[in-house]
C-alpha cells in the first residue's frame, strides 16, 4: 500500500501537469505505458475521467490496480488494436514514443481509438544534447536521457521539429503544443516559447487524425 | 470470524447452513428438480441496505468454508484464508461474504450422493447432469433469498472463476465487479482430455457399479488415481522440480521393482488417499463434466456472454499466473481482448509465479496487493 500512496502523493511531473490541464473532465482516457498510474490516478481523482491504462511492467500493473485504476497488463502495440474506433476521447503516450519499436503503427492505432492523441517525448534537439554530440563526440547522456547507449530503453531519438514533420506523413494535425524545460532537479520547470527546438528538453503535442 | 446464523435456513451440525431452493431448478439439460439444497456459509455482516455482499465461488472439489471461523471453540481454517477474512484483501469487516457449495458436489449441496425422495436411496447417476449454468442458477436463488439484488463482487479461481464469468454473463445487472482468477472461458481439448482420463479411472474401477456403489465398497482406487492426474495439472514442471526433484522416498537406492521410489510418487499417492476420504466419486464425475461443458462461446456474436459483455456495467479484474498450464495465461488474455472490444472496464494482470495452477490458493504478496487494492475500490 505504501507504494500506492507514494504514487498518489508525489506531485505530477511538469509535462504530466501540462497534459492534465488539457484533459476535459468526465472524458474517456487511455494512458499507454501508464507506469505506476500517477497521471491516470490524478485524472481519475481530479477530473473524474473514465480511465484505462496499458502497462508492460507487472509491478506497475499491480500498483495501478491496487490504487483502483483499470489497467491491462500487456504490450501497447498488441493491446491497442483490441479497442473499438473512437473508444476514448484522449489517448496519452507520455514519454513512451521514443521506446516503441513501431511508432507509426502505434500512432495510427492511437488516432483510430481516440478522438485526440496526446504525445510527450524528450527533445533530441535540446541544446545540451547537441553540445555533447558536437563537442564530446559521443552519444549524449543528459538528465533527460540518462542512459548509456547500450542500455537505454529509448530506441528512437527525435526532435520537436521531427515530430511536426512526422505529422505530414502519418498524417495528423497538431491541435496544441507545448515545449517545456524540465532540467532534473530544477524546482522551476517552465514553458519555452522562444526557440523551443533548441531550448526545450521535452515536447508535448495534442494531435488529431486528418 | 464468527458466522452469522442461518436465518430462514437449516443449520447443519458443522455450522454450515442449508438452503432449500423455493423454486424447482430447471437444469440446462432440461431436467427439473425440486427441493434442491445448497450448503452455504457467510462471513461478516450484511448491511441493512444489503449493499455489501461478495460471492466467493470455490474450485472443483472445494466447499463453502472459504475463511476461518470458530466452531465448537476451535478455529477451523478456510480454503482461502490468505485472502478472505478481517483485514484481508476481501475484508469481512467490510463485506458480507457468501460462499456456497456447488450443485453436484458432496459437501451438503444436492448431488448424486444425496437421497432421491422418490426412491429413498442416493440418486447416483439419476441425478441430472450439472453445468456451470445450473450451479449459478441455484446460487442466484440463494443470493435472492438474502434480499440482495446486486453483489459488490463475484470472485473465485479455476472452476470458481467459470462461475464468476457465468454470473457476469447471465446476470450482469446483479454483478458490480467480477474477478475471475486462473480460469478460462472454455476448456481446451487438453483440459477435457485430462478430465476424461480421470473420469475413466473412476468408471473402470469395478466398485463403481454404474454409480450405484452407495452402501457398498466405493471406487476408491479409481478416484485416487483420478485425483493424482488432477494434481499433476495443478502443479508445474518447475514447482515439482523445486518440491521433489528426483529425490528418493525413504530409501537410499532405487528399488528395481514397482514400490515407491521417488518423493513425487509418494506425494501423489498421499493426495489420492486423502481425497477418497473426503470426496464422492460420482460427484467428481459430475463436476469435472460441468467444467468440460463450460463454454462462453465469446467468439460467437450471438452468444449470451457476447451479448451481456457488450452492455454490462460490470467492472472486471482478470488474473492469470504465468506457470498455469491447465488454464494458461493466453486463455485469460482472450477473455480480456473480448472485454476490451466490447468497451468494458477491464483490468488484467498476468502474475509471474512458479507454482502452476494452484498459485491462486497460495500466499503471494503481489496477488494480495492487487486483490486488496481492487476490492478496496469495490462499491
Whether B187 is catalytic is no
* Position A61 pLDDT exceeds 60: yes
From the list B65, B187, B338, B357, the catalytic residue is B357
- What's residue A2's pLDDT? 44
Lowest mean pLDDT among A66-75, A97-106, B357-366: A97-106
C-alpha cell at A210: 486528418
Cβ of residue B369 closer than 8 Å to a chain A Cβ = yes
Mean pLDDT of A202-207: 94
Please judge whether A68 and B374 are an interchain contact, meaning their C-beta atoms are less than 8 angstroms apart: yes
Q: Please, which residues 310-329 of chain B have a Cβ atom closer than 8 Å to chain A?
A: 315, 317
Task: Report yes or no: B141 and B21 within 8 Å, Cβ to Cβ.
Answer: yes
Query: Would you put residue B61 in left (φ > 0), alpha (ψ -120 to 50) or beta?
Result: alpha
pLDDT tens digits, one per residue of B112-160: 999 999 999 999 999 999 999 999 999 999 999 999 999 999 999 999 9
Instruction: Please state, in angstroms and rounded to a whole number, the distance separating the CA atoms of residues B102 and B38.
Output: 7
Please judge whether A1 and B369 are an interchain contact, meaning their C-beta atoms are less than 8 angstroms apart: yes
* Position A101 pLDDT exceeds 80: yes
Instruction: Please state, in angstroms and rounded to a whole number, the distance separating the CA atoms of residues A18 and A203.
Output: 10
Contacts of B374 in chain A (CB under 8 A): 65-66, 68
Please judge whether B346 and A70 are an interchain contact, meaning their C-beta atoms are less than 8 angstroms apart: yes
Task: Report yes or no: A89 and A65 within 8 Å, Cβ to Cβ.
Answer: no
Instruction: Please state, in angstroms and rounded to a whole number, the distance separating the CA atoms of residues A3 and A64.
Output: 10
* Position A78 pLDDT exceeds 70: yes
The alpha-carbon gap from A201 to the nearest alpha carbon of chain B, in Å, equals: 34
pLDDT tens digits, one per residue of B29-84: 999 999 999 999 999 999 999 999 999 999 999 999 999 998 888 899 999 999 99
- What's residue A100's pLDDT? 86
Instruction: Please state, in angstroms and rounded to a whole number, the distance separating the CA atoms of residues B55 and B95.
Output: 10
Please judge whether A68 and B373 are an interchain contact, meaning their C-beta atoms are less than 8 angstroms apart: yes
Mean pLDDT of chain B: 95
List B153's β-bridge partners, or say none. B54
Task: Report yes or no: A169 and A208 within 8 Å, Cβ to Cβ.
Answer: no
pTM of the model: 0.93
- What's residue B61's pLDDT? 97
- What's residue A1's pLDDT? 43
Mean pLDDT of chain A: 88
Whether B280 is catalytic is no
Task: Report yes or no: B322 and A45 within 8 Å, Cβ to Cβ.
Answer: no
- What's residue B2's pLDDT? 45
* Position B1 pLDDT exceeds 50: no
Query: Which residues have a Cβ under 8 Å from the Cβ of B152 and sit 6 or more positions away?
Result: B51, B52, B53, B54, B95, B176, B177, B378, B379
Q: Got the DSSP string for B275-328?
A: HHHH--HHHHHHHHHHHHH-B--TTSTTSHHHHHHHH---EEEEEEETT-SSS-
- What's residue A9's pLDDT? 65
* Residue of B39, B109, B43, B37 lying closest to B76 (CA atoms): B43
Contacts of A65 in chain B (CB under 8 A): 317, 347, 349, 370, 373-374
* Position A106 pLDDT exceeds 80: yes
Cβ of residue A178 closer than 8 Å to a chain B Cβ = no
Going by pLDDT thresholds of 50, 70 and 90, the confidence category of residue B3 is very low
Contacts of B351 in chain A (CB under 8 A): 58, 62
pLDDT tens digits, one per residue of A115-164: 999 999 888 878 888 788 788 888 777 777 788 888 888 878 889 999 99
Q: Got the DSSP string for B65-119?
A: --S-EEETTEEE--TTTTTEETTSSEETTT-EEEEEPPTT-SSSSS-TTSB-TTT
- What's residue A25's pLDDT? 98
Whether B158 is catalytic is yes
Q: Which of residues A141 and B344 earns the better pLDDT score?
A: B344
Q: Got the DSSP string for B127-149?
A: SPPP-HHHHHHHHHHHHHHTT-S
* Position A4 pLDDT exceeds 70: no
Cβ of residue B346 closer than 8 Å to a chain A Cβ = yes
Instruction: Please state, in angstroms and rounded to a whole number, the distance separating the CA atoms of residues B190 and B198.
Output: 12
Task: Report yes or no: B335 and B185 within 8 Å, Cβ to Cβ.
Answer: yes
DSSP A22: H
Amino acid at each position: 500500500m505504501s507504494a500506492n500512496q507514494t504514487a498518489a502523493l508525489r506531485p505530477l511531473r511538469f509535462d504530466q501537469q501540462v497534459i492534465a490541464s488539457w484533459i476535459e473532465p468526465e472524458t474517456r482516457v487511455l494512458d499507454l505505458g501508464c507506469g505506476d498510474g500517477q497521471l491516470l490516478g490524478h485524472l481519475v481523482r481530479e477530473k473524474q475521467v473514465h480511465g484505462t491504462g496499458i502497462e508492460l511492467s507487472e509491478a506497475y500493473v499491480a500498483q495501478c490496480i491496487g490504487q483502483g485504476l483499470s489497467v491491462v497488463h500487456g504490450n501497447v502495440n498488441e493491446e491497442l488494436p483490441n479497442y473499438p474506433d473512437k473508444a476514448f476521447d484522449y489517448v496519452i503516450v507520455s514519454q513512451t514514443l521514443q521506446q516503441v519499436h513501431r511508432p507509426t503503427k502505434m500512432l495510427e492505432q492511437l488516432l483510430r481509438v481516440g478522438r485526440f492523441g496526446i504525445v510527450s517525448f524528450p527533445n533530441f534537439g535540446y541544446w545540451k544534447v547537441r553540445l555533447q554530440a558536437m563537442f564530446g563526440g559521443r552519444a549524449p547522456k543528459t538528465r533527460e536521457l540518462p542512459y548509456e547507449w547500450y542500455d537505454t530503453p529509448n530506441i528512437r531519438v527525435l526532435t520537436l521539429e521531427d515530430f511536426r514533420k512526422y505529422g505530414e506523413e502519418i498524417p495528423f494535425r497538431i491541435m496544441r503544443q507545448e515545449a517545456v524545460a524540465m532540467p532534473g532537479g530544477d524546482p522551476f520547470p517552465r514553458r519555452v516559447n522562444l526557440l523551443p527546438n533548441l531550448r526545450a528538453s521535452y515536447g508535448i503535442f495534442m494531435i488529431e487524425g486528418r | 470470524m464468527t458466522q452469522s446464523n442461518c436465518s430462514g435456513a437449516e443449520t447443519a451440525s458443522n455450522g454450515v447452513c442449508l438452503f432449500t431452493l423455493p423454486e424447482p431448478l430447471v437444469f440446462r439439460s432440461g431436467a427439473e428438480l425440486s427441493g434442491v439444497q445448497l450448503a452455504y456459509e457467510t462471513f461478516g455482516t450484511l448491511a441493512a441496505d444489503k449493499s455489501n455482499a461478495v460471492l466467493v465461488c470455490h474450485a472443483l472439489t472445494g466447499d463453502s468454508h472459504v475463511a476461518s471461523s470458530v466452531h465448537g471453540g476451535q478455529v477451523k481454517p478456510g480454503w482461502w484464508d490468505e485472502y478472505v477474512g478481517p483485514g484481508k484483501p476481501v475484508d469481512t469487516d467490510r463485506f458480507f461474504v457468501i460462499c456456497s457449495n456447488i450443485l453436484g458436489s458432496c459437501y451438503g449441496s444436492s448431488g448424486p450422493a444425496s437421497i432421491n425422495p422418490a426412491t429413498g436411496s442416493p440418486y447416483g447417476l439419476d441425478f441430472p447432469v450439472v453445468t456451470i449454468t445450473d450451479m449459478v442458477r441455484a446460487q442466484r436463488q440463494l443470493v435472492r433469498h438474502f434480499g440482495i439484488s446486486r453483489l459488490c463482487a463475484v470472485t473465485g479461481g479455476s472452476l470458481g472463476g467459470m462461475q464468476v464469468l457465468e454470473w457476469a454473463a447471465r446476470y450482469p445487472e446483479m454483478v458490480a465487479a467480477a474477478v475471475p482468477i486462473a480460469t478460462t472461458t472454455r476448456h481446451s481439448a487438453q483440459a477435457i482430455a485430462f478430465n476424461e482420463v480421470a473420469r475413466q479411472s473412476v468408471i473402470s474401477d469395478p466398485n463403481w457399479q454404474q454409480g450405484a456403489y452407495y452402501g457398498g465398497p466405493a471406487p476408491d482406487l479409481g478416484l485416487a488415481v483420478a485425483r493424482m492426474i488432477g494434481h499433476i495439472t495443478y502443479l508445474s514442471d518447475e514447482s515439482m522440480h523445486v518440491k521433489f526433484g528426483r529425490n528418493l522416498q525413504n530409501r537410499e537406492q532405487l528399488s528395481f521393482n514397482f514400490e515407491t521410489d521417488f518423493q513425487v510418487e509418494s506425494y501423489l499417492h498421499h493426495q489420492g488417499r486423502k481425497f477418497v476420504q473426503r470426496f464422492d466419486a460420482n460427484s467428481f464425475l459430475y463436476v469435472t463434466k460441468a467444467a468440460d461443458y463450460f463454454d462462453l462461446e465469446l467468439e460467437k456474436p450471438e452468444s449470451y456472454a457476447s451479448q451481456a459483455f457488450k452492455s454490462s456495467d460490470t467492472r472486471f479484474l482478470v488474473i492469470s499466473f504465468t506457470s498455469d498450464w491447465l488454464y494458461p495465461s493466453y486463455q485469460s488474455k482472450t477473455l480480456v481482448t473480448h472485454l476490451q472490444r466490447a468497451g468494458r472496464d477491464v483490468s488484467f494482470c498476468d502474475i509471474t509465479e512458479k507454482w502452476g495452477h494452484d498459485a491462486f490458493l497460495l500466499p503471494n504478496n503481489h496477488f494480495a496487493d492487487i486483490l486488496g487494492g481492487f476490492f478496496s475500490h469495490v462499491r
